[in-house]
Amino acid sequence: MRRLLLTTCLAVLVAGCNSNGSGQAGGEQATSAAAEPKVDPDASAVTADSMASHDPGPGEAPDSATADDKPRPMMKVQVVLERLGFAPGIVDGKMGLSTRNALLAFQEVNAVPVTGELDEQTLTVLSRWSQIGATRVVTIPADFAAGPFAPLPKDPVEQAKLPALGYASLDEKLAERFHTTVATLKELNPQIAAPQGAASPVAGAASTPVPTPTGPVFAAGQKIRVPNVGADAIDGTANADPAWLRTLVSLGVGNDQPTADRIVVSKGKGTLRAYDTAGKLIAVFTVTTGSSHDPLPLGKWKINAVDHNPKFHYNPELFWDVSDAKPKALLPPGPNGPVGVVWIDLSKEHYGIHGTPEPETIGRTQSHGCVRLTNWDAARLAQMVSKETKVEFVS
């Protein structure tokens, strides 16, 4: 999404070591933007989400007012897989790398041929969740659309002057909330995305495609169709930092996640797999892992800390592709920061697992050695792991 100078994190050190959250300790590190966790006095105000999913039960029909307007079989597969812990990355209705990885894991767990294809046996198992729609209709709340929104400067020194590294537009924020792209949201809402004065597409009619505007098109109060991403319920009574709960709501990620006893990052497969104490596979994410310049450090590691909404100590000396003459800078937290909304600090110095401001690059571009996920997947993973979780990087 936002295109910072950096997309990864070799400049990040021990996350969460500054228990006061000040971000002023020495060294280059991701530091928490929040104070000690506490229960919000008005938790409902923090966790309220009028755009949250409301799935019908097995055999029940979805609300006709929000049901799919047409079949979108691949997007439906993606939203079901994500609910089950097999992350398809960007939910766009296309069979890409992340969706195939999710499908392979789903097939493995459900004891059907592991083909990575939507074959008959796989579709039969997926039919257990046939009541889950591919999309739903939501109304954009005024508070969600309030911003502030502004393009980020490219220079880290200028970024350091900002209160937060937030979204450039409401369109971008909506795309992250529903685990998709702005282009997909425009495709789902041609009546909004069409230029002013242009005729809306008519179903079944042959017509010349209408170009969509390049600027922001969404606004508060609009009813829009979005990917039906779920598992987004928030328990506001949990003893958690209110700022982190607000981040989860903004990302459409629930705070009821399974506990990972062990996670395994595969360099060759480009995946992170999480297992419970019984050895059951409970989650799979597609990740970006290192490069030829900064390869993934194979071996067994420990988790030092899990940092939510981290600040980022930018040190050019730790980047082979940045001049050492560039000044250091302490960047504020935000979803468009170099490590996104999460930094999971590892016992391997300078290395961690984190989010990204550019979810569309996951699994496709190289990193400076760390393990990158989409912000929404990083937020889910951060709630699964702890200092007790074992970490292994394999070839």
Q: What is the pLDDT of residues 237-294, one digit of tens each?
A: 777 789 999 999 999 999 999 999 999 999 999 999 999 999 999 999 999 997 667 7
Among residues of the chain, what percentage have pLDDT more than 70?
79
Q: Which pLDDT does position 257 carry in this prediction?
A: 96
Higher pLDDT, 15 or 57: 57
Query: Residue 166: which pLDDT band, with cuts at 50, 70 and 90?
Result: very high
Q: Which pLDDT does position 61 carry in this prediction?
A: 82
Quick one: tokens of 178? 């529903």
Q: Which pLDDT does position 194 carry in this prediction?
A: 72
Q: Which pLDDT does position 295 carry in this prediction?
A: 84
Query: Residue 14: which pLDDT band, with cuts at 50, 70 and 90?
Result: very low
Q: Which pLDDT does position 328 carry in this prediction?
A: 83
Query: Residue 38: which pLDDT band, with cuts at 50, 70 and 90?
Result: very low
105-163 residue pLDDT tens: 999 999 999 999 999 999 999 999 999 999 999 999 999 999 899 999 999 999 999 99
Q: Which pLDDT does position 21 carry in this prediction?
A: 34
d(CA 103, CA 117): 7
330-374 residue pLDDT tens: 999 999 999 999 999 999 988 999 999 999 999 876 555 689 999
pLDDT at 18 over 80: no
Q: Which pLDDT does position 23 carry in this prediction?
A: 32
Q: Which pLDDT does position 13 carry in this prediction?
A: 39
pLDDT at 173 over 90: yes
Local structure of 223: helix, strand or coil = strand
DSSP state of 171: H
Only one residue has tokens 């050492």, namely 324
Pick from 130, 106, 131: nearest CA to 118: 106
Higher pLDDT, 364 or 220: 220
Mean pLDDT of the chain: 84
d(CA 156, CA 329): 7
pLDDT at 182 over 60: yes
d(CA 384, CA 389): 9
pLDDT at 167 over 80: yes
pLDDT at 73 over 60: yes
Residues in the chain: 395
pLDDT at 20 over 50: no
DSSP per-residue letters across 341-384: TEEEEESSTT-EEE--S-GGGTTTS--SSSEE--HHHHHHHHHH
Pick from 14, 33, 24, 18: nearest CA to 241: 33
Query: Residue 379: which pLDDT band, with cuts at 50, 70 and 90?
Result: very high
- Single pTM value for the model: 0.85
d(CA 210, CA 202): 12
pLDDT at 85 over 70: yes
Q: Which pLDDT does position 208 carry in this prediction?
A: 52
